[in-house]
Structure 1
Amino acid sequence: MDFFDNFLDILWWSLWVTIWVMFIFLMIRFVIDAWRDNEIGTGAKVGWTLLLILLPALGALIYLLARGKGMTERDMAAARDYRAAEVEFTRSLAYDDADIDALKRQPATEISRAKALLDSGAITPEEFAQLKARALA
């Protein structure tokens, strides 16, 4: 019975350590989010940081209720920016600048751009025909 009690004590202790570690990471996450937000001033950032440090549980609950949606939007924007940079970097590895310029000047691309201009009314059908002939030449 003594071994079983010790084992349960270890499990209970492990659970609490895990909860505390997760809570600390959550507090760090909230502070980082407050400081990366460009919409609030430095005073508000300091205020959120102090609230999260001095009253962690209450501060975390208030932060989630007040700024949770904005936190998600900032995360999504950062993910989009990261993905765009990743795609651009991969593209730069696959092609040099001359290849990218050649891809941009492909006839199909030029014709589709001219067609969009024609559809919007920015150019006449005759101008579209000239652009199409130039792209195919």
Structure 2
Amino acid sequence: MSSDFPLLSVFLYMLWFFAFVLWMWLLFAVITDVFRSHDLSGWGKAAWTAAIIVLPCIGLITYLIVRGGSMHERTQAVAERDERAWRAYLRDAAASSSSADELAKLARLHDQGVLSDAEYARSKTKILA
């Protein structure tokens, strides 16, 4: 039948390819969620992983029925944690670069003779504190 309709054959191959990509993405998402779950013990994670590997269709569907409702909550919690870490990193990086800039300015003013040694030491301790 597919040799009579080459366009239908191409469509079916594309459909199977899409189904395969969707299946792989679902496997990846579920296994990631299993290991991301803090409420599962090590044995629970091992059991879910074994169920998904040994009986892929049944294991995956069972996981989605039993624990699928809270997958988005775990994903959102990880995203929020990563966002907080990123913002903290940016805040620290911005603070350290501004301190470094101020120290460089002080050193330049001290080298030019605008600041005395005592003023330079006082200002330096204030910036570093």
Shorter-chain TM-score: which interval?
A: 0.5 to 0.7
Report the Cα distance in structure 2 between the residues aligned to 1:30 and 1:84, rounded to whole angstroms: 25
Normalising by structure 1, what TM-score?
Answer: 0.62
Is residue 31 from structure 1 mapped to residue 23 from structure 2 by the alignment?
no
Normalising by structure 2, what TM-score?
Answer: 0.65
AA aligned opposite 1:28: F
Structure 1, unaligned runs of 5 or more: 100-137
Is residue 17 from structure 1 mapped to residue 17 from structure 2 by the alignment?
yes
Report the Cα distance in structure 2 between the residues aligned to 1:98 and 1:10, rounded to whole angstroms: 60
| SS of residue paired to 2:5 | helix
| SS of residue paired to 1:44 | helix
| SS of residue paired to 2:16 | helix
Matches within 5 A, 1:43-54: 43-54=43-54
Structure 2, unaligned runs of 5 or more: 100-129
List, as ranges, runs of 4+ consecutive aligned residues in structure 1 with deviation greater than 3 Å. Answer: none
Aligned length: 98
**C-alpha deviation, 1:97, in angstroms:** 8.3
Match of 1:106 in 2: none
Q: Deviations over 1:79-99 (max 9, x none)?
A: 110111111122223222886
Deviates more, 1:8-17 or 1:84-93: 84-93
Match of 2:7 in 1: 7
AA aligned opposite 2:42: T
The alignment yields a C-alpha RMSD, in angstroms, of 2.3
